Amino acid sequence: MNNLIDLVRHYDRPGPRYTGYPMPPAWHDDFPESELIEGLKRADQSKEALSFYAHLPFCKRRCAYCGCNVVISPHYDPVESFLQHLEQELDLWASHLPNRRGVLQLHWGGGTPTYLEVPELRRTFKMITDRFPLLPGAEVSLEADPTFLRPDQLPALRDMGFNRVSFGVQDLDKDVQELITRGQTWEQTLAAVKQARSVGFEGVNLDLVYGLPGQTLEKFRRTLDEVIALQPNRLAVYGFAYLPKMMPFQRSIPAETIPTPDNKLQLLLMATEKLEAAGYVAVGMDHFAHPEDSLAKAVKDGSIIRNFMGYAVQGGPDMVSIGPSAISDVGGVYHQNDKILSKWEKAVGSGHFAMHKGHTCTIEDRMRRWVIHQVMGRFELRWADLKAKWGVDGPAHFAQALQELNAEEPMGTVKVTAEGVFVTELGRRFVRNLAMPFDAYMEQMAGKTFSRTV
């Protein structure tokens, strides 16, 4: 156990999740709309499919653990204005992509997409797919909260074409649920999973969180046993980011109820061991897939991809995203919408993109993103692959990174050889840390707020 404690102390520090590269704290706040439009011109010249994300921000109540950009509205009134502006934003994106609209990966996040009632769900789906039609075989997914799920929603969503759904679970313990102000019961979770399967969803995913207030090994073990019994296709097991200074609503959580870093690691290790013992395949840093799931197969054959929607089997090299705070990646340009609903509505209502921040990637940025995603997804970086794809001499180009990683070898988390960099089984728990040496923006981002890596 001393070794684990040493590892926690060594690695537990703030760090990026690397859904992209560089990450948003390195982007420019005064990013001009003209650069985004230039990126869209480049993106429109490609014939490849798009990925598409819609951020539907509404929730009926604030969960104390949640760090998402949400709009708390117990009343349904703001939805009509939101949907009108969403359609205006869709027209704006479509006008700049006249020759490239086909979508291979569509995801709705939030917020709680199932905050919308069935007529508005159908309206939203139609306004998106009328402008950006789904291609055959597209993965069409959304997030849902079992505590507010209505009986008619999942059948309607499946009828529209959604084939994968992710249910938030976090932890099934009643005391933990009370501390995170969620109140989700086992019965609600079970009913949601059963209904999703009964109406024909191909993938049913569950999200767990470790390090929550009041969480113990015994409580989380019971949650894992009950969740494994449901046989989800995929599982996400995220670390709780306790950031009360940045997220004032988290101040309702008594600090003394938060597990220590040592206990938090034990929760993660237990979850990993139980899931792998049940046959699940580790995917990157905090995801697991049933061995028959396409994501597990993509890990084995090296075809896994990573973008701002997370790990995926398929997707376009460019991603269009709509809604407040949504992040797009088009033509080598990152762009994030304004996070505040009223500001986003004002911008798109006037015919402009809701510019919050952005970044135009250099060739070096694109190469380093590929490198980091190799480490994050495949747990290895082979110099021969780097040379073949980018024409780069890895050991020479990344001499400083290798010096840092060589210093980590005694910890048993990584091996640096003449063939490349290889993350060990133990190192997979700390893969964010092992990707950081390849990040050329770490010094520039010093002092920025990230979740802790353990």
pLDDT one-digit tens code per residue, 194-240: 999 999 999 999 999 999 999 999 999 999 999 999 999 999 999 89
Torsion of CA 22, 27, 33, 39, to 10 degrees: -10
The span from the CA of 268 to the CA of 101, in Å, is: 40
pLDDT at 5: 66
**pLDDT for res 21:** 94
Between strands 50-56 and 103-110, the pairing is: parallel
Would the pTM count as exceeding 0.85? Answer: yes
Residue pair 205/168 in contact (Cβ under 8 Å)? The answer is no
Question: What's the mean pLDDT in 276-283?
Answer: 92
Backbone Cα Rg of the chain: 21
- Can you give the pLDDT at residue 2? 44
Residue 452 — very low, low, confident or very high, per pLDDT cuts 50/70/90? low
Compute φ and ψ for 256, nearest 5 degrees.
-70, -10
Question: In which residue ranges of the chain is CATH 1.10.10.920 found?
Answer: 1-14+362-447
CA separation for the pair 368, 361 (Å, rounded): 10
- Mention the CATH class of domain 1-14+362-447: mainly alpha
Sequence length of the chain is 454
Q: Write down the pLDDT at residue 307.
A: 87
Q: Which residues contact 350 (CB under 8 A, 6 or more apart)?
A: none
Q: Average pLDDT of 323-335? A: 97
Count of C-beta atoms within a 10 Å radius of residue 41: 13
Q: In 255-304, where do the E strands start and end?
A: 281-283, 287-289
Task: Give CATH 3.80.30.20 domain extents, the chain.
Answer: 15-319
Q: How confident is the model at residue 264 (pLDDT cuts 50, 70, 90)?
A: confident
By the 8 A CB rule, do 354 and 344 touch? yes
Q: What is the pLDDT of residues 370-408, one digit of tens each?
A: 999 999 888 899 999 999 999 999 999 999 999 999 999
Q: Residue 402 is inside which H or E element, if any? A: helix 399-406
Residue ranges with strand state E in 45-199:
50-56, 58-59, 71-72, 103-110, 134-144, 164-170
87 in helix, strand or coil? helix
**What's the rounded mean pLDDT across residues 17-42?**
95
CATH 3.80.30.20 fits 15-319, yes or no: yes
